[in-house]
Amino acid sequence: MMTKVERVAARSLKEAGEMIRAGEVVAFATETVYGLGANALSGEAVRKIFRAKGRPGDNPLIVHVASLGQVPPLIKGDMPDAAKKLAEAFWPGPLTMIMDKSPLVPSEVSAGLSTVGIRMPSLESARALIEEAGVPIAAPSANRSGRPSPTTAVHVLEDMDGLIPLILDGGSCEVGLESTVLDVTAFPPRVLRPGGVTAEMIAEVVGAVALDASILKPLAQGEEARSPGMKYRHYAPKARLTIVRGKGAPEAIKRLYDEAERAGERACVLSLDGHKSVYGARRVRGMGEDARAMAKELFAALRELDGEGVTRAFSEAVEARGVGLAVMNRLGRAAAFDVMDVSEDGE
């Protein structure tokens, strides 16, 4: 199959909408990451997403809507009160809410669960596409399963060339990490995956919020994942990645880097801009100034490590709160939770 890449424009949006209505898969930008979209009401169309992604069939997809009016047919009963308040506060935006699904949502979308995740993206061209399609769009991130999520059309093409007919190029994604996944069937609502709408922001609107235990540590053997996606190895670069955290991190990273290079590895540091100069002539990928910048850079940086043949990487850490919680969740999973704590003296 030939994969076309077209810039977002009235004509390409119309073409993409028609393709989705016809049961095809189209990649499109959102404010979080690129999505691989198909008609959410067609099990057959949705199966094509799983094939293109190489995704296990037991991992459910998020349904994207362009307006609140598209939600009631997708869910069972009324929207929970908390969900109404959160939609009011954060939609359109990077928040996915898990609710009980209606029979209209095919089991391919929910992967057999009785719930469905719904979000309204804030990127205007994403909502325009949903409107052109005239149906809600089911879309996982547009990477091949196990690869970092794509934040540019070039990333999507790297993974999907020949597998889908069209990539709509909407530029680079503003947030850079996938949406916050929040289970609003639970009380208090539970964050299953942290993202751009932070736990702190959610708590401010609904009073209390729970954080799933899997966010900053691997699942214990035999432990069941509340969000099926959490059990899969994700965001994994080919390089072995270690997170080094604490005041002495730069000194410790220099030592570890030099040891790795002496052992024949090709090493790289993922560094906040403030420390970049500390590493001298070593290979460094700058991650911006703070957690928000790091969120935006992280997936591109992980892809670059692979492209540059890096075999051993060391990353600085940010504080695990606010958007930093999402950064440390994704970084932690990319590192298979290999985290090293170092005090002042670098030991």
Interface residue list for Mg ion (CB under 5 A): 141
Q: Which does 189 bind (CB under 5 to 8 A by kind): ligand TXA, Mg ion, none?
A: none
Please identify the residue of the shown chain whose CB is closest to the bound Mg ion: 141
Q: Which does 62 bind (CB under 5 to 8 A by kind): ligand TXA, Mg ion, none?
A: ligand TXA
Q: How far is the CB of 296 from Mg ion (least distance, A)?
A: 17
Q: Which does 96 bind (CB under 5 to 8 A by kind): ligand TXA, Mg ion, none?
A: ligand TXA
Q: How far is the CB of 193 from ligand TXA (least distance, A)?
A: 6
Q: How far is the CB of 187 from Mg ion (least distance, A)?
A: 27
Binding site for ligand TXA (CB under 6 A): 30, 32-33, 35, 59-62, 94, 96, 98, 110, 113, 115-117, 139-141, 178-179, 181, 192-193, 227-229
Q: Which is nearer to ligand TXA, 170 or 229 (CB)?
A: 229
Q: Which does 184 bind (CB under 5 to 8 A by kind): Mg ion, ligand TXA, none?
A: none
Q: How far is the CB of 347 from ligand TXA (least distance, A)?
A: 37
Q: Which is nearer to Mg ion, 141 or 214 (CB)?
A: 141
Q: Which is nearer to ligand TXA, 125 or 271 (CB)?
A: 125
Token pair recorded at residue 265: 């590895």
Q: Write the burial class of residue 10 (CB in 10 Å: 0-12 exposed, 13-18 middle, 19+ buried).
A: exposed
Q: How far is the CB of 77 from ligand TXA (least distance, A)?
A: 16
Q: Which is nearer to Mg ion, 232 or 279 (CB)?
A: 232
Q: Which does 98 bind (CB under 5 to 8 A by kind): Mg ion, ligand TXA, none?
A: ligand TXA
Q: Which is nearer to ligand TXA, 122 or 242 (CB)?
A: 122
Q: Which does 152 bind (CB under 5 to 8 A by kind): ligand TXA, Mg ion, none?
A: none
Q: Which does 61 bind (CB under 5 to 8 A by kind): Mg ion, ligand TXA, none?
A: ligand TXA
